Amino acid sequence: MLDYAALSALAAVVREGSFERAAQSLYVTPSAVSQRIRSLEEKVGSALVVRGQPCRATDTGRRLCQHVDRVRLLEQELQGALPALAPEGPTRVTLPIAVNADSLATWFAPAVAAFAADAPVLVELAVDDQDHTADWLRNGAVLAAVTGTARSPAGFNSRPLGSMRYLAAASPAYMARHFTGGVGAGSLARAPSLVFNTKDDLQARWVRRLCHRDVELPRHAVPSAHAFVAAALMGMGWGLHPQVLIASHLHEGTLVELAPDSPLDVPLYWQHARAASGLIEGLSRKVVAAAGRVLLAP
């Protein structure tokens, strides 16, 4: 049998980032938290936490944390069906989700907000590139994710959401400064581009399709969807933007496309733990409906 007091201590350390804050959240001493995790590590036969600032779960630790999250969701659902088990009402449970920044900035936030307003959950969002959010599922850090991968990890379901349309755009002043001779491999190799972070390859993919070869792009890193648009408006660089996020700027002429009629469509999928809870299904309905209002049909 698993020691759920020890599992709760592990989940608290990973969630809070330290033994001290985990102890406060559990109303026990840090030494009690340490003893519980040490006992669990001895039973499992491997380390579960990497001590540091903050503390991090090992791969095995993440899987155990994911198990705790699933159990808590099921317990909460049971309390809702059998109120006598929770005379003061169902407690809120943590629901960890991974999502890409552009979805969060456009259609996902309203969906998760509408769900969390009525559901007894505390949503914990992790933001990563759509091609990497599935890794959060595989390592047990989250129970659901918006991903760019159709194939889901073992134990998860996958639903197509539709495609996010991206347009390469920059300010008119930037276009006049860098692309007076046209947009091609030579000018793109000189003109500063915008990327979200080192994982963001949308600009490189768009250029590869436009030029039929790879081009080494000078890059500014701007890790915020809205700041990304602001940087383009101020002439810092060109970048791939969600069409829905810059539609008004294109209409007003404050942003213009580098190459009209050359969008990049990125398919997105909703992946979630199989048979985890009715709460996950409720969230899934909100997510699929919100995506259908914004994304291109699958």
At 119, is the secondary structure helix, strand, or coil? coil
Q: Provide the pLDDT confidence category of residue 73 given band limits of 50, 70 and 90.
A: confident
Angstrom distances, CA of residue 130 to CA of 97, 140, 202: 13, 17, 11
Domain annotation covers residue 232? yes
Per-residue confidence (pLDDT) for residue 54, from 0 to 100: 85
Task: Tell me which long-range contacts 291-296 makes (C-beta under 8 A, separation of at least 24).
Answer: 291/107, 291/108, 291/111, 291/161, 291/162, 292/161, 292/162, 293/107, 294/106, 294/107, 294/162, 294/244, 295/107, 295/161, 295/162, 295/163, 295/164, 295/268, 296/162, 296/163, 296/164, 296/165, 296/265
Q: How many domains does the chain have?
A: 1
Q: Provide the pLDDT confidence category of residue 80 given band limits of 50, 70 and 90.
A: low
Domain annotation covers residue 197? yes
Per-residue confidence (pLDDT) for residue 240, from 0 to 100: 98
Q: Flag the least confident range among 44-53, 69-78, 259-268, 281-290.
A: 69-78
Per-residue confidence (pLDDT) for residue 11, from 0 to 100: 85
Q: Provide the pLDDT confidence category of residue 198 given band limits of 50, 70 and 90.
A: very high
Domain annotation covers residue 51? no
Q: Provide the pLDDT confidence category of residue 167 given band limits of 50, 70 and 90.
A: very high
pLDDT in tens, 83-100: 666 556 557 888 889 999
Q: Flag the least confident range among 32-41, 186-195, 244-253.
A: 32-41
199 burial (CB, 10 Å; 0-12 / 13-18 / 19+) is exposed
Q: Flag the least confident range among 55-59, 124-128, 143-147, 185-189.
A: 55-59
Mean per-residue pLDDT, 23-31:
90
Contact of 290 with 107, CB cutoff 8 Å: yes
The domain spanning residue 168 has which CATH number?
A: 3.40.190.10
Per-residue confidence (pLDDT) for residue 239, from 0 to 100: 98
The residue range of the domain holding 247 is: 164-265
Per-residue confidence (pLDDT) for residue 53, from 0 to 100: 85
Q: Flag the least confident range among 123-127, 200-204, 265-269.
A: 123-127
Domain annotation covers residue 238? yes
Per-residue confidence (pLDDT) for residue 226, from 0 to 100: 94
Say which residue the tokens 């914990």 belong to.
Answer: 124
Per-residue confidence (pLDDT) for residue 158, from 0 to 100: 96
Angstrom distances, CA of residue 119 to CA of 83, 142, 221, 281: 16, 18, 36, 12
Domain annotation covers residue 245? yes
Per-residue confidence (pLDDT) for residue 243, from 0 to 100: 98
Per-residue confidence (pLDDT) for residue 203, from 0 to 100: 98
Q: Provide the pLDDT confidence category of residue 79 given band limits of 50, 70 and 90.
A: low
Domain annotation covers residue 236? yes
Domain annotation covers residue 45? no
Domain annotation covers residue 260? yes
pLDDT at 211 over 90: yes
